[in-house]
Amino acid sequence: MELHLERLPKSLELARKGDNAVLRYIDERLLPGELRIDETDDWKVAVEAVKTLAIRGAPALGIAGAAALTLWVQQACNSDDLARIAEEIASARPTAVNLRWGVERALTRLKELSCPSMEMAASALFDLVQAMQDEDERANRAMGAHGAALLEQGAKVLTHCNAGSLATYYYGTALGVVYAAAEQGKIARVYADETRPVGQGARMTAWELARVGVPVTLICDNMAASLMAQGKVDAVIVGADRIARNGDTANKIGTYGVAVLAQAHGIPFYVAAPTSTIDSNLENGSQIIIEQRSAQEVLRDPIEGVDVYNPAFDVTPARLITRIITENGVYEPQSLFAS
């Protein structure tokens, strides 16, 4: 199968349209059926896109957060409201620390400017988001290079959720490792967990990998154990939404189960994430806030008397993680913060 990385989609981008900044983003709720790029100059629309998962994935959320604040500054800037609006954006989704990190970077930039005009402030934030986009791609490519070195020739990799180009500005974290390894001819196949209930694996990872020509097999979440038992998985690589100081890692619900299975079968379990996903304020994973989402994601038509539990993330303890891959290198999870 020929590799076509030039077909990788860019998930979102703050761009210029005339004198205005606009946020362009793939509405990921429509994938794989429709690849639609929406455009807005309204910060509220950007926040709604984050809440409804049109824009998703931790690194993409970081850029979306800074971009939403840029749109607000351009639209309605009134410094009395800044703190409230920033908080509204940063709390749109609670688990991925990148969202708050992106908003805080924008706030820091604003503080550096002394008494800027609205135009100056909007222009400085626009430049910041451009820099964040470039940084994101550079970090992903660096993670790709570090992670690819961990894989053997002919590797069969299992991944959960979507930590690809669609979850970042461009290229991906866990899938960035896959792409870098595929360029070296190392990847025999990727198994994509379907990732119930929203289906990021089925709808995004499988689509993204097939689009660029990486051999991919879609599996239901409950098939991973039997694949591993058959010796069909050489490594698991996933992304992350928040990593605590001790290496405990929050990622899409189901990741913890995959890590338990990997350990039971003696398969290395790698987490690939930029340093912006590390939350140095948290001692361990028990302090990570887990987003609870609507029952309808699990059960479209309610059944009387049936309650639904729908946490969007779980925490994988550091002891189950073989290595964490960041843009700076490859680390044992417990020594991540010491570095």
The residue ranges that bind ligand MRU (CB under 6 A) are 53, 56-59, 96, 161, 163, 167-168, 173, 200, 239-241, 251-252, 312
Sole residue written with tokens 């970081």: 62
Q: Which is nearer to ligand MRU, 31 or 312 (CB)?
A: 312
Token code pair at residue 313: 């993330």
Q: Which is nearer to ligand MRU, 105 or 109 (CB)?
A: 105
What's the min distance (Å) between Cβ of 95 and ligand MRU? 8
What's the min distance (Å) between Cβ of 295 and ligand MRU? 16
Q: Which is nearer to ligand MRU, 59 or 94 (CB)?
A: 59
What's the min distance (Å) between Cβ of 251 and ligand MRU? 5
Whether 134 is a known active-site residue: answer no
Task: Judge if the upstream peptide bond of residue 197 is cis by omega within 30 degrees of 0.
Answer: yes
Q: Of residues 193, 221, 241, 314, which has the active-site annotation?
A: 241
Element (H, E) at 329: strand 329-331
Q: Which is nearer to ligand MRU, 8 or 312 (CB)?
A: 312
Residue 115 φ then ψ, to 5°: 45, 60
**How many CA atoms lie within 13 Å of 327's alpha carbon, on the beta-carbon side?**
15
**How many CA atoms lie within 13 Å of 139's alpha carbon, on the beta-carbon side?**
25
Token code pair at residue 288: 């990570």
Order of strands, sheet of 249-252, starting from the edge strand that comes earlier in the sequence: 242-243, 249-252, 313-316
Q: Which is nearer to ligand MRU, 82 or 97 (CB)?
A: 97
Instruction: Determine contact, residues 222/180, Cβ cutoff 8 Å.
Output: no
What's the min distance (Å) between Cβ of 273 and ligand MRU? 7
Token code pair at residue 38: 């929406």
Residue nearest to ligand MRU (CB): 239
What's the min distance (Å) between Cβ of 339 and ligand MRU? 21
Task: Judge if the upstream peptide bond of residue 32 is cis by omega within 30 degrees of 0.
Answer: yes
Any idea which residues carry the catalytic annotation?
241
